[in-house]
Chain A
Amino acid sequence: LAKTTQPISMDSYEGQEVNITCSHNNIATNDYITWYQQFPSQGPRFIIQGYKTKVTNEVASLFIPADRKSSTLSLPRVSLSDTAVYYCLVGSQGSGNTGKLIFGQGTTLQVKP
């Protein structure tokens, strides 16, 4: 069964690029990788999703190496408002009506002035 592992916490300063890596050594062929952001007293919010190589949207980039055993969420030029918990999710569509959704433990990112 796939397991996702992330660093528990990270610190950064405003304006820096932040990279958060998630390890998923047992990822299966049909698994997708998704990252979510969660602020206190709120539910998680979708950031980005990918299957392989690189995906970029208006808020982040996601790098996935060829072996797909890890993925890196990249946040360019963070601000204080990016202080949050970031979750990596490995999920796939199984056969019939089954599915798999495995969240990591979350990485608490603290952005300092």
Chain B
Amino acid sequence: DVKVTQSSRYLVKRTGEKVFLECVQDMDHENMFWYRQDPGLGLRLIYFSYDVKMKEKGDIPEGYSVSREKKERFSLILESASTNQTSMYLCASSGEGQEFYNEQFFGPGTRLTVL
């Protein structure tokens, strides 16, 4: 079974802090994704990566950055956390080359609260 793990299930941070969310997948997938999920808005793509050290902006990249130094690991960084970044963050991965629409495997999510 594909496994996507996220470093924390729950996280509480203060405004202005730098926050790191880590995601690891064990299936040698090329593509990895970060989404945020908010009530009534569904899932919105923040960033994705199609290869090591490669990244592309999604729909809502403002206030976020990412890092992919190794194929299995994709990190989401909040440079200076703000209260409007309180949300559920979901990481996903998919294989089979660069077809972004292929089946994605999701982690359990990290619920981030920024006070």
| A-B contact number at CB 8 A | 68
A17–chain B nearest beta-carbon distance, Å: 24
B4 touches A93 (CB 8 A): no
| CB-defined contacts of B99 to chain A, threshold 8 Å | 93
In whole angstroms, what is the CA distance A104 to B103 when docked?
Answer: 16
The B interface is mostly helix, strand or loop, or mixed, namely: strand
- Size category, A interface: 20 to 34
User: Given the interface contacts A46-B103, A97-B56, does A106 sit within 8 Å of B108 by beta carbon?
Assistant: no
In whole angstroms, what is the CA distance A15 to B99 when docked?
Answer: 36
| CB-defined contacts of B12 to chain A, threshold 8 Å | none
| CB-defined contacts of B54 to chain A, threshold 8 Å | 97
Q: Does B8 contact A (CB under 8 A)?
A: no
| CB-defined contacts of A89 to chain B, threshold 8 Å | 101
A93 touches B90 (CB 8 A): no
A interface vs B, CB < 8 Å?
A: 8, 31-32, 34, 36, 41-46, 49, 87, 89, 91-94, 97-101, 103-106
